[in-house]
Structure formats: structure tokens, C-alpha cells
Amino acid sequence: MKRANEAIETARDFIRTVDNPASKTRLQAQIRKYGEILGRCTPGKPITAAQYLAGEWKGATDHFVVCSSGEARSILAEATPLLPLLIPAELNTQVERLQLDRYLTILETRPTLDVHDFDAEGDLVVPERLESRYATALFRDESRGPINLLNLRGYKQNPTPSCLAGLEAYTILDAIQEESENGKAPERLLSDLSECARFQLCGNRGAFHLEHIDHHGTLTTTFSDDGEKLWPGWPGLRLEDILEWAQSGELPAGPCVGIYLGPGYLLVQPQAYLHAPLSLTDVLMTGTMHWDSRAMLKVMRLSKMEIQHPHITNEAPAKEFLGKINQIRTLWTQGHPAWPWGSEDELRQFSELVEWFSEGCTCETRCGKGCKCKGNESSCDGRCHPGKSCQNT
Ligand SMILES: [Zn+2]
Ligand SMILES: [Zn+2]
């Protein structure tokens, strides 16, 4: 517990030193809010895999599981997890780690990178696309404020943690091919599901994210290759708690637990895990995103919530989403043996939500005469032509 306590103190010190009440930048507003998160953060109560499996988890709690890769695998095989699973380096069978400096050298060979610059004035939410050699130079420059390099396409060849590798239920996001109407390969976006199923991220010391959930109800794993993170989050929140947070803009009343992630640590975040990570040092992480084929109804409920409250996640709706869920509906209806599925009742509710998602318009350029939304005198939302700017709002 000592490490988590120290990490929370280090983060608080950092926020205190950068807090400048005279500044009116967006960053300043975010620092205030992040300070509020840290103010509530405690090290929480770690439990064993056996305690987790014997317990019932039905709401906000300060418990999280600390276990080995093998124990995490048993939990994940049984059902989709409800609490975060932390596998510290000494219990992790996954040992291959990429060094940050080596990785920056690789990044230099890419044409451009998306940079979140904490020194920039104005809107922090929108990253800036910079030439890679310039972006990596900013990252290495210790005399300026922190930057985050996000949405980096996966570099590691086998990033899936050993606790998940080969567990059938968790392969569906990656394996399912979306249907396309005209037989052509569908267009992809950077934020798209197949692109982010494996990712790398780099953050300078002090870079942070306000609380958010990962998009489309994914279970996300994050492995620290190099460096240290504090990972505040709210274990055990139910969908209604997430909705209340989305509507009110207030932090949830439940406990905020600061999990420490050192080099070689792996965190498995359950679906809709509200989290707000901060880099304690310059850091390189490898992540993977998964759907659990047994928990697809919750994927749909969360995806609907994202359309209705777009600020709850830091990514736009994925273009491939509708194609993938349509394909999943077909296979689930057949009870196809490729994946384990949820109940009949869940399938019925899942199908209704697929219908709801299909209501968006499919206009190619501007929403004009033939637009379904305009015809119904309604505004376009995230269900319509994702990735294209729209005037019909
Ligand atoms: Zn339209
Ligand atoms: Zn529309």
C-alpha cells in the first residue's frame, strides 16, 4: 500500500506546483478538477482472487483485486470482471517490456503524430497533428510542459496479456468482420475499433486525463512497459451511476481508488471503468481493448449512453461499430458456436438496441434532401455518418 500512498502524494505535489489561479487556460480548469479527483483518492482495499470469486459485487466499492496472471485468467474465464484486476510485476508472467527511448526512436520514423500539449493555450481536447520528429523532440524536451502521445497504433507483435490470450469470449472485437453493403472494404478512422484494439501510449511526467470511460463498453488492459502511473478510478459503479455522472458532471459519490502501476504492472479494467490516469514519470504503456461476447448487451447500453452524452468518453463513435454489431446479432441469433453468448432475453434487448443504432442517416456528404434525419425534422447525432462533419445539428 506504501507505493499507492506515495504515488497519490507525488501526484498531489505535482498538481500543487502547476496550479496557477491567475491563469484562465483550459488546462488550468482541468488542473482544478484533477486536484478534486486527487483530493478524494485513497489507496483502496486490495483483495485476493479467491475473495473476489467468493464475493458479490453490486455497486461502488473501494475494493480491487491484486492477483497473478493465472488467477486473473481464472476470473476472466468465469465471467466478465466487475472490479479492476491488478497484476503487479512480481506476479506477472508477461515480461517483455519495450523501453521508452527505443520506442521514441521508432516513432520518429512515422510521418505524423497526434499530440496533446499541456502547454498549449485553448482547447486541450483536440490533439494537434505534428511531424513526428518535432513531436518526439517535444516529448524529450524537459524544459517545457508535458505532452501526451495518444492513439498510437500497436507496435508490439503480441500485446495481448497472457491472462487473456486465447480466452474465446474476449477475441470477438478483433475477430469479427464488419459487413459492408457494397462489398468494398469499409473506410477506417483512427479512432476505430480495429485500430485501437492494440495501442501504445506515451506520456510525459505530469500529463493526466480527467475522468472518462473507454468507448463502446470495451474491457481495456494497460501494461506499463517503462515508467510509473497513478491510476485513480471508481471500482464497481453500476450503469445508473455512470449515467448519473454523465448527466450531472459531478464526480461519483463512490470511493475513488488510486492504483499504482509501476514497470511490468498490468491493469485489467472492466467495462465502463471510470478512470483518470496521471503519469508520475515519463511513461510508455501498451494496451489492448476487448469485447466480452457474453457481455454484449452492456456494450450496447454503454454505446447508446455515449451517443446521448458524447463527453463521457474521449473518443468519437467508431465507424465500424454498426457493421460489427450487425454481424454479431446475426451470429448470436444463430447461437453460432464460435463464441459463448449471453441469454435469450439479453439477445432480444441487444437486437432492439441494434435497431436503435440503425436509425441514423447514412448521408455521404452533406445532409440534404434525401436525409432521413432532416425528413423527420430531427438533428443528426453520433449514429449518423460517423467521422464526417455535419450541418444538421
Ligand atoms: Zn443525413
Ligand atoms: Zn443524420
Output the CA 386–ligand 1 centroid distance in Å. 11
Q: Are residues 85 and 63 in the same domain?
A: yes
Output the CA 227–ligand 2 centroid distance in Å. 44
Output the CA 298–ligand 2 centroid distance in Å. 24
C-alpha cell at 267: 491493469
Q: Identify whether the C-beta of residue 282 lies closer than 8 Å to the C-beta of residue 205.
A: yes
CB atoms within 5 A of ion ligand 2 belong to 361, 373, 380, 384
Q: Are residues 295 and 337 in the same domain?
A: no
Output the CA 173–ligand 2 centroid distance in Å. 26
Q: Which has the closest alpha carbon to 76: 292, 300, 346?
A: 292
Output the CA 150–ligand 2 centroid distance in Å. 29
Residue 284, strand partner residues: 202, 226
Q: What percent of the chain has pLDDT over 70?
A: 90
Q: Which has the closest alpha carbon to 152: 107, 192, 215?
A: 107
Q: Tell me the pLDDT band of 346, cut-offs 50, 70 and 90.
A: very high
55 contacts: CB under 8 Å, gap ≥ 6: 47, 63
In-domain check, residue 384 = no
> How many structural domains comprise the chain?
2
The domain that contains 63 carries what CATH number?
2.60.120.650
Output the CA 353–ligand 1 centroid distance in Å. 20
Q: Tell me the pLDDT band of 368, cut-offs 50, 70 and 90.
A: confident
Q: Are residues 319 and 289 in the same domain?
A: no
Strands 85-87 and 266-269, bridge-based pairing: antiparallel
Output the CA 378–ligand 1 centroid distance in Å. 10
The rounded distance, in Å, linking the Cα atoms of 272 and 161 is 20
Output the CA 308–ligand 2 centroid distance in Å. 14
C-alpha cell at 293: 461476447
Asked if residue 189 has pLDDT above 50, the reply is no
Q: Are residues 69 and 217 in the same domain?
A: yes
Output the CA 345–ligand 2 centroid distance in Å. 30
Lookup result for grid cell 481493448:
289
Boundaries of domain holding 262: 2-308
Q: Tell me the pLDDT band of 348, cut-offs 50, 70 and 90.
A: very high
pLDDT (mean) for 69-92 = 97
Average pLDDT, the chain: 89
Task: Show the 3-state SS of 118-132.
Answer: CCCCCCCCCCEEEEH
Output the CA 389–ligand 1 centroid distance in Å. 11
In-domain check, residue 350 = yes
**pLDDT at residue number 28:** 79
Q: Which ligand is nearest to the CA of 384?
A: 2
Output the CA 384–ligand 2 centroid distance in Å. 5
Q: Identify whether the C-beta of residue 257 lies closer than 8 Å to the C-beta of residue 235.
A: yes
In-domain check, residue 386 = no
Q: Are residues 335 and 299 in the same domain?
A: no
Output the CA 137–ligand 1 centroid distance in Å. 42
In-domain check, residue 287 = yes
Least confident of 145-149, 269-273, 316-320: 316-320
With b for 16 or more beta-carbon neighbours within 10 A and e for fewer, the 328-363 pattern comes to: bbebbeeeeeebebbeeebbeebbebbeebeebbeb
pLDDT in tens, 95-150: 789 999 999 999 999 999 989 887 776 655 678 899 999 999 999 998 888 889 97
User: What residue type is assigned to position 154 of the chain?
Assistant: G
pLDDT in tens, 31-60: 889 999 999 999 999 999 999 999 999 999
Q: What are phi and psi of 384, to 5 degrees?
A: -90, 145
Q: Which ligand is nearest to the CA of 378?
A: 2
Q: Are residues 85 and 230 in the same domain?
A: yes
Q: Tell me the pLDDT band of 191, cut-offs 50, 70 and 90.
A: very low
Q: Are residues 332 and 272 in the same domain?
A: no
Output the CA 383–ligand 2 centroid distance in Å. 7
Q: Which ligand is nearest to the CA of 365?
A: 1
Q: Which of 289, 308, 327 is the C-terminal boundary of a domain?
A: 308
Q: Which ligand is nearest to the CA of 364?
A: 1
Q: Are residues 58 and 181 in the same domain?
A: yes
85 contacts: CB under 8 Å, gap ≥ 6: 64, 65, 67, 72, 75, 76, 163, 267, 268
DSSP string, 153-199: EP-SS--S-TTTTT-GGGGHHHHPPPP-TTSSPPP--TT-HHHHTEE
Output the CA 190–ligand 2 centroid distance in Å. 21
Strand order in the sheet with 45-47: 45-47, 63-66, 85-87, 266-269, 219-226, 283-290, 198-203, 147-153, 112-117, 128-131
Q: Are residues 232 and 370 in the same domain?
A: no
- The helix (H) or strand (E) run that includes residue 77 is helix 69-78
Q: What are phi and psi of 73, to 5 degrees?
A: -60, -40
Q: Identify whether the C-beta of residue 320 lies closer than 8 Å to the C-beta of residue 186.
A: yes
In-domain check, residue 382 = no
Output the CA 371–ligand 2 centroid distance in Å. 7
Output the CA 365–ligand 1 centroid distance in Å. 8
Q: Are residues 349 and 280 in the same domain?
A: no
